[in-house]
A = this chain, B = another copy of it.
């Protein structure tokens, strides 16, 4: 299920409007109309984006009267960040290993096969 979540999270983050919505939400909660105001797309489009973000777990919508208050839920970013960090740490390790090899001496610089 983490797999599926990662799909949804990364896919949600792949759209600039949705990232902008999250940026805005980082400044505090907001209603759908407050959120949609600065964007050059229709109200309904923003509502759809919020649906995508909500399904990815990145945003929660809570009814308050006739409004929906949206909040960011950065906990959903954890899996994505873990994934990225795993790959980056792998890279760091490899670079360090390479540097160690290079420093150890130019005798066996190539062990790629």
Chain A residues in the interface with B (C-beta under 8 A): 3, 6-7, 10-11, 13-16, 19, 22, 26, 28-29, 72, 74-75, 77-78, 80-81, 83-88, 90-91, 112
By beta carbon, the residue of chain B nearest A6 is B19
Q: Are A112 and B29 in contact (CB under 8 A)?
A: yes
Copies in the complex: 2
Q: Looking at the complex, which one of B11, B26, B75, B84 makes contact with A14 (CB distance below 8 Å)? A: B11
A88 contact from B3, B77, B87, B91, Cβ within 8 A: B77
Question: Once the chains are docked, how many angstroms separate the CA of A80 from the CA of B87?
Answer: 12
CB-based contact A10/B3 at 8 Å: no
20 more contacts with CB within 8 A, not counting A6-B13, A72-B91, are A3-B16, A7-B14, A7-B15, A7-B16, A10-B10, A10-B11, A10-B14, A11-B14, A13-B14, A13-B80, A14-B14, A72-B87, A74-B87, A75-B91, A77-B84, A77-B87, A77-B88, A78-B88, A81-B84, A84-B84
